[in-house]
Amino acid sequence: MSLFIDIPEGKDQLPSPRSERGLLLWFSSVDHKQLGIMYLWLALIFFVIGGLEAMLIRTQLAFPDSPMMTAEIYNQIFTMHGTTMIFLVLMPASIGLGTYFIPLMIGANEMAFPRLNAFSFWMTCLGGILLYFSFLAGGAPNAGWFNYPPLSEANYSPALGIDYFTVGLILTGMGSIGAALNFISTVLTLRAKGMKLTMMPLFVWMMFVNSFLMLAAFPLLNAGLFMMLLDRQMYAHFFLPSTGGSAILWQHFFWAFGHPEVYILALPAFGIISEVIPVFSRKPIYGYRFVAASSVAIALLSYTVWAHHMFAVGMTYAMNGFFAISSMLIGIPTGLKVINWCATMHGGSLRLRVPLLFAIAFLIDFTLGGLSGISLAIVPIDWQVTDTYYLVAHVHFVFLGGSLYGIFAGIYYWFPKMSGRMLSERLGKWHFWLFVLGFNITFLLQHVLGVFGMPRRVYTYPSDLPYWRALNVWSSIGAVMMFAGVAVFLWNIYRSLKQPRAVKNNPWEAWTLEWYPASPPPLKNFEELPPIHSRRPLWDLANPENPDKRLN
Amino acid sequence: MDHFCAILSTDLTAVEQIHRLSLYAAIVAAVIFFAVLGSILYSLVHFRAKNNPGVPSQKPSNERMEKVLLVIVTAITVVFAWLTFSVMAKVQDIPDDPKPDVVITGHQWWWEAKYPANGVITANQIHIPAGRKVLLELHSADVIHSWWVQALGFKMDMIPGVTNHLWLYAEKPGEYIGTCSEFCGANHANMRIRLTAMDTADFSRWSRDQLAPAVSLNDPLFVEGARLFQQKTCTNCHSIQGVSAKMTIGPDLTHFASRKRFLADMMEINDTNLRAWLTDPQKVKPGAHMPNFILSKKELDALTYYIGHLK
Amino acid sequence: MKDKGRILILLFISSEAFFFIALIIAYVFYRNFSNATDTVAKHLEAGRATLFTLCLIASSGTLILSKRALRKGSEGGYKTWLALTILLGIVFMVGQITEYTGLYKEQVKMSTNVFGSSFFTLTGFHGLHVILGLIALSILLVLSMGKLKDTGRSALGGIDVYWHFVDIVWLFVLTFVYYVPLL
Ligand code: HEA
Ligand code: HEA
Ligand code: CUA
Ligand SMILES: [Cu+2]
């Protein structure tokens, strides 16, 4: 075996992992498309793991006093479920789509810093592996995804799980910061000639804004995590009230990161939806400026709301009031977006393909989740329902109904570009209906459970409380439907990948630059670029007689 | 409008006020939700490719609609912000110099209650007078817990190093259940609350009984149990008034048998359950901070008898 | 086109700034929260710390001079000023080390109380950044001696921003840790 392997030429196809040394070419790759795809695989693998953990949760809770899991195991499972889904599914999935499509959508051939790109991916991957290694090292973390001290301190959780949690999250956090640095530099320096910032596709806009959120949010988490680690390993006293520390400071650090984080996971989905709805409604987005500007408003506001997760810790009237108002204000820019998306469909010619179906389900379920968020921002209501299944329902309506539907839509939409093959429309519809119906059964009912008093994070519950049993059983039945939906999705991907490549450059007749090169694009994305004078260069190319208004 | 302002009237209890506020929020949310849903359904019916073929107009949007809706949404937000402030002030008006009726401390995984007015100390099954507002002072001895009895008041966290206050109000005597609602480790699910509200006369009778020192019988089994309680180091953690046992690592057992349920509302107090607990605490409530003492059958008999008679 | 390296380093240090803001907030919070801090913080030697701070500030100055020399084409000036920068940085680190050993002798450690925890965490992470900067500067110096001169020069554009940043962070640390307790 020779010491050097041939680096593929720009005009070559992406190397096939099956060919000799193909896998090596992937692992050592710095190409944004390959890294994007690896991010997506990482997310998919962890989605299956996190989903199976969710199924364990729902099986355990289907009936009271279930003998399946002990409290110790259950606590590890729900902690790992939440942590996995947030840091190892939604993060890499959104960053992966960004890595793949930001350069393509702005007419660039690479990210600004290809090696930093690879570094970010491998950090995320390493963080995930460390987190899961904890299962072998004496127990997974078990203090919930926000890991409140003093419970997470060494005297109450002596097992190493939480140390793995801190180190794993610091690593993925560094990976995310790296990705954000790269996205911003790419957008600022590598846009095709003629593409002004105000002409970028909305997905790129949202990822751009999102990157600033990441840059500012993750350092706060990392600082908190380092302190936690020092507490546990070097006997520092940051979060230990018994020796002079403060349990509440962690909550401030965590949520000052945590709330921006939930928008970090939502904005990419907003971006995808802003691409999908226009293309499948066959008309340009309604109110481009509003959609773009409201993201900036959301990003700024998201730094002023963190303590709405702490209404029950006994803050002063003024603090509670401030954070209530700022949280409600976020409803305004988000509402604007919802209105714009609805208005885009209005008067269009809707092609009800799977991406649009997911986008519509997103509109409906995300609105519900957002409205339950507003109800939580009303402090007295939160005082009753915080830390119950009402909150669990909110979390899932915004994470699944929001982010995950968005990512599903994006994957159905962009899969042909990434792989050169279409996903089956028929299987896609099965996936859609099973998942969306199951989702609404599972989590709509959980609002009711919460109002009836069921606290979150319990491995069992009394059997004699009215409706609790029925609601829990149905909630679990919905989860089984989601399981079936995801299984169909996996089958759909597998089946498509077995077929030969047959997709033309632009199967959906979309208008943004990523659809200009072949599917999948060769290693060097663009040999030449179409003229760029509006937000929809490919529309102008296809309709020279009726081009969009010239913007440059 | 009358009804609307009723939310602020004083004859509603805190729970009712919050309930009414939730109702308003739910109604407004439903209106917004159905507006969004309706607009989507309308588009789905009228504008699907089948019904609206051809290329739709590509005209850039005029953004007037946005501005109108922006105003509406902002108005709703302002109204709810105002409601939030006023209800918040109503339901959580803690005096500057609070004099709590009960001081409750959360422990992994049981509740300790002290009544500063008369010095009663009890655990797990907590009693309050009905028909008047009761002020709680909340602490934690270890990790964060949260006190929540849904029917009588809302939630308040118990945080080590922090003192929080909360009003409870039970209109009628009776038993009310609640639960710890901040994740606190292995037995968070088993850290439930059972609160007994009594009318004033019953409550003062109960207080008087609780103040009495622990009973002392002459029965040999009881005496043996009392001896074992000292010998087996139970006194390192538990207190029994009138006996040299004053620790608060575990629940106060002075009037243990006067309570109906134990282990934070996990099970009923009877011989079988008590015996099971003393035989192996880790089997009954895995993780609980009470070790297994590996008692012989004779010792178990005596201890169960002793504790079971601490009326 | 635009200098993407410069954009990267500016973004990076703004991200780092948030990290240090968090650590400084923690320090200040614990100072107000418990009196453990003031019993020690008042006795820290602000004068000595100021002296070493002057070294660090001077090192920023010499770095600017070294860059200017490079722009003027003075190879020798570039190397000399760069070496001086590194030297001043090392002097600062020596100051830090003596500070630490002094505190350790008085039994003030990470595990002593919240002052120890927050003080060593804040200054320790700063020191770590100084060390990283020193390593980067040393690499520049070594490169300037060898064949890869040009690589070194283009990297200077990023590393100098970083070094000034570390310097500025220290000014905040100095203010909050050494001066504010004296007020
Ligand atoms: C994608 C993630 C995401 C998103 C987008 C949101 C969005 C919002 N969230 Fe949510 N939230 C979470 C993820 C998210 N949340 C998570 C994970 C937790 C719990 C963490 C844990 O404890 O484990 C949480 C918890 C949480 C709490 C804490 C509850 C508690 O712990 O007690 C609160 C309280 O205020 C809250 C509020 C909000 C609000 C006001 C919004 C708003 O941004 C919503 C805005 C959207 C709309 C309002 C809908 C569309 C608008 C219109 C159609 C216009 C008309 C609307 C009005 C006039 C109101 N969220
Ligand atoms: C992106 C975020 C995300 C996603 C997608 C999900 C998905 C799901 N979640 Fe999760 N959840 C969280 C984020 C998320 N969750 C968070 C943050 C928490 C809080 C954690 C905490 O308290 O700390 C939480 C907590 C949480 C709880 C509360 C636990 C508790 O408080 O005790 C419950 C209970 O029902 C639950 C259920 C589910 C279910 C049924 C799904 C389903 O949608 C899952 C569907 C997916 C599958 C079912 C996968 C199917 C897999 C296959 C088909 C593979 C088969 C093939 C092979 C093996 C090759 N979740
Ligand atoms: Cu105590 Cu949960
Ligand atoms: Cu939030």
Note the pLDDT tens digit of each residue in B236-262. Answer: 899 888 776 667 889 999 999 999 999
For B134, list phi and psi in degrees, rounded to 5. Answer: -120, 130
Distance CA A103, CA A259 (A): 28
Instruction: Tell me if B184 CB under 6 Å of ligand 3.
Output: yes
* pLDDT tens-digit map of A287-310: 898 899 999 999 999 999 999 999
**Residue range A31-45: average pLDDT?**
96
Q: Do C15 and A224 touch (CB under 8 A)?
A: no
Q: Which of C11, C33, C117 sits opposite A181 (nearest CB)?
A: C11
**Chains touching A (3+ CB pairs < 8 Å):** B, C
User: By CA distance, what is A291's nearest residue in B?
Assistant: B66
Q: Which residue of B has its CA nearest to A539?
A: B58
- The DSSP letter of residue B190 is G
Q: Which ligand gives the minimal distance to the CA of A323?
A: 1
- The Cα–Cα gap between A92 and A90 comes to 6
Which residue(s) pair with B111 in the sheet? B106
- Interchain proximity C121–A226, CB inside 8 Å: yes
Mutation pick from A79, A151, A452, A465 vs chain B, by most beta carbons of B within 10 Å, is A151
Do A307 and A258 form a contact (C-beta atoms < 8 A)?
A: no
Residue A336, ligand 1, Cβ within 6 A: no
Which residue is closest in CA terms to ligand 3's atom 1? B145
The ligand minimizing its distance to the Cα of B110 is 3
For C23, nearest residue in chain A (alpha carbons): A223
Nearest by CB: A185 against C4, C23, C33: C4
Q: Do B63 and A290 touch (CB under 8 A)?
A: yes
Q: Is the CB of B106 under 6 A from ligand 3?
A: yes
The Å distance, Cα A305 to ligand 4 centre, comes to: 7
Alpha carbons A233 and A253: distance in angstroms, whole number? 20
Residue reference for tokens 């309930």 = B19
Question: Nearest Cα to A363, choosing from C22, B120, B44?
Answer: B44
Residue of chain A nearest B57, judged by CA positions: A283
**Contact, B91 vs B167, CB < 8 A?**
yes
Percent of chain A with pLDDT over 70: 98
Output helix, strand, coil percentages for chain C, rounded to the nearest 5.
85, 0, 15
| Identity of the residue in B18, B39, B189 whose CB atom sits nearest the CB atom of A458 | B189
A434 lines ligand 2 (CB under 6 A): no
| Separation of first and last alpha carbons in chain B | 55
Percent of chain A exceeding pLDDT 90 equals 85
C2-25 b/e (C-beta count within 10 Å ≥ 16 → b): eebbebbbbbbbebbbbbbbbbbb
Q: What's the gap in Å between A372 CA and the centre of ligand 1? A: 7
User: What residues contact residue A169 under an 8 Å CB cut-off, 6+ apart?
Assistant: A83, A87, A127, A131, A221, A225
What is the distance in A from the centroid of ligand 4 to the CA of B150?
23
Cβ-based contacts of A189 with chain C (< 8 Å)? 1-2, 4, 7
Residue B132's contacts (CB-CB under 8 Å, 6 or more residues apart) are: B169
Q: How remote is the CA of residue B8 from the centroid of ligand 1, in Å? A: 26
Residue B13 to residue B11: CA distance in whole angstroms = 6
Q: What is the mean pLDDT of each run of 10 residues along chain C (183 residues)?
A: 80 95 93 72 83 94 92 87 95 94 88 88 96 93 79 79 95 91 80
pLDDT in tens, A459-500: 999 998 889 999 999 999 999 999 999 999 999 999 999 999
User: pTM to 2 decimals?
Assistant: 0.95
Interface ipTM? 0.94
A-chain residues near B53 (CB < 8 A): 349
Tokens of B210: 């609780």
Looking at residue B111, its amino acid is W
pLDDT value at position C1?
44
CA distance A365 to A334: 14
Atom of ligand 1 nearest to the CA of A403: 1
- 8 Å CB contact of B89 and A342: no
The count of CB pairs under 8 A between chains A and B is: 241
Give the Cα separation of A89 and A99 in Å (integer).
Answer: 15
Distance from CA of C62 to the nearest CA of A (A): 29
Residue B236: DSSP 8-state? G
CA–CA distance, B269 with B260 (Å, rounded to integer): 6
Q: Which of A181, A182, A209 to mutate to test the interface with C (most CBs of C within 10 A)?
A: A181
Q: Determine whether the shortest distance from the Cβ of B188 to ligand 3 is under 6 A.
A: yes
User: What's the pLDDT score for residue A186?
Assistant: 96
Q: Which chains have 3+ CB pairs within 8 A of C?
A: A
Q: Give pairs for B244-248: CB < 8 Å, separation 24+.
A: B248/B112, B248/B141
Residues in C whose CB is inside 8 Å of some CB of A read 1-2, 4, 7-8, 11-12, 14-19, 22-23, 26, 29-30, 33-34, 36, 110-111, 113-114, 116-118, 120-121, 125
Q: If you measure CA to CA, which chain C residue comes closest to A221?
A: C19
Instruction: Indicate the DSSP class of residue A550.
Output: P
Asked if A364 is an interface residue toward chain B (Cβ–Cβ < 8 A), one would say yes
β-pairing verdict for B174-180 and B145-148: antiparallel
State which ligand 3 atom lies nearest to the alpha carbon of B184.
Answer: 2
Cα-based angle A258, A262, A268 (whole degrees, multiple of 5):
140
Q: How far is CA C20 from CA A235, A238, C124, C125, C132, in A?
A: 21, 16, 11, 8, 16
DSSP state of A221: H
Q: Residue count of chain C, please give it.
A: 183
The 10 Å CB-count burial string (b at 16+, else e) for A222-261 is bbbbbbbbbbbeebbbbbbbebbbbbbbbbbbbbbbbbbb
**Stretches in chain B below the pLDDT threshold 50:** 1-2
Instruction: Write the DSSP assignment of C132-180 as a string of letters.
Output: HHHHHHHHHHHHHHSS-HHHHHHHHHHHHHHHHHHHHHHHHHIIIIIIG
Single-letter residue type at A225? L
Residues A345 and B43 sit within 8 Å (Cβ to Cβ):
yes
pLDDT at residue B1 in the model = 41
The answer to whether C66 and C81 are in contact (CB under 8 A) is yes
C30 and A246 within 8 Å at the Cβ level: the answer is yes
Shortest-distance ligand to the CA of residue A255: 4
pLDDT of residue A225: 96
Bond from prior residue into B109 cis (ω within 30 degrees of 0): yes
Strands B267-268 and B261-262, how do they pair? antiparallel
Between chains, do A387 and B22 touch, taking CB under 8 Å as contact? no
- DSSP tally for chain B: helices H, then strands E: 8, 12
- With a 6 Å cutoff on the Cβ, whether A259 touches ligand 1 is no
Residues A150, B144: C-beta atoms closer than 8 Å:
yes
Q: What are phi and psi of B222, to 5 degrees?
A: -65, -45
Beta carbons of A181 and C12 less than 8 Å apart? yes
- Output the furthest CA–CA distance in chain B (Å, rounded): 98
Contact (Cβ atoms closer than 8 angstroms) between residue A262 and residue A272: no
Ligand 4 centroid to residue A516 C-alpha, Å: 39
CA distance A393 to chain C (A): 32
A147 Ramachandran zone, left/alpha/beta (phi>0; psi -120 to 50)? left
**CA nearest to A221, candidates B212, C18, C3:** C18
DSSP secondary structure letter of residue B142: S
- On the question of pLDDT at A12 being above 80, the answer is no
pLDDT at B61: 66
Q: Decide if C113 and A243 are in contact by the 8 Å CB cutoff.
A: yes
Residue spans of alpha helices (H) in A284-424: 288-301, 317-345, 354-377, 379-385, 389-398, 405-419
Give the single-character DSSP code of A499: S
Residue B185 DSSP one-character state: S
- Is the pLDDT score of A1 beyond 50? no
Beta carbons of B155 and A286 less than 8 Å apart: no
B233 Rama sector, left if φ>0, alpha if ψ -120 to 50, beta otherwise = left
> CA-to-CA distance for B59 and B64, rounded, in angstroms?
14
User: Do C110 and A230 count as a contact with CB atoms less than 8 A apart?
Assistant: yes
Q: How many CB atoms sit inside 10 A of residue C35's CB?
A: 11
Mutate to test the interface with B, among A246, A358, A381 (most CBs of B within 10 A): A381
pLDDT score, position A393: 97
Q: Which of A287, A317, A461 sits opposite B61 (nearest CB)?
A: A287
Q: Is A470 on the interface with B (CB under 8 A)?
A: no
| Residue A371 Cα: closest atom of ligand 1 | 48
Q: Where does A106-190 have alpha helices with state H?
A: 114-133, 161-189
Residue B202 CA to residue B207 CA, distance in Å, equals 9
Which pair of tokens denotes residue A360? Answer: 């519509």
User: Tens digits of per-residue pLDDT, A260-286?
Assistant: 999 999 999 999 999 999 999 999 999
For tokens 């990297």, the residue is C155
- Neighbouring-strand partners of residue B114: B103, B121
Q: How confident is the model at residue A16 (pLDDT cuts 50, 70, 90)?
A: confident
Neighbours of B213 (CB within 10 A): 11
Q: Is A407 in the pocket of ligand 1 (CB under 6 A)?
A: no
Does B31 sit in the ligand 1 pocket, CB within 6 Å?
Answer: no
What is the spatial distance between Cα A257 and Cα A255, in angstroms, rounded to a whole number?
Answer: 5
| CB of A461 shorter than 6 A to ligand 2 | no
Which CA distances in Å does A306 have to A145, A177, A217, A382, B234? Answer: 16, 20, 11, 14, 45
- DSSP annotation of B93: -
3-state secondary structure of B177: strand
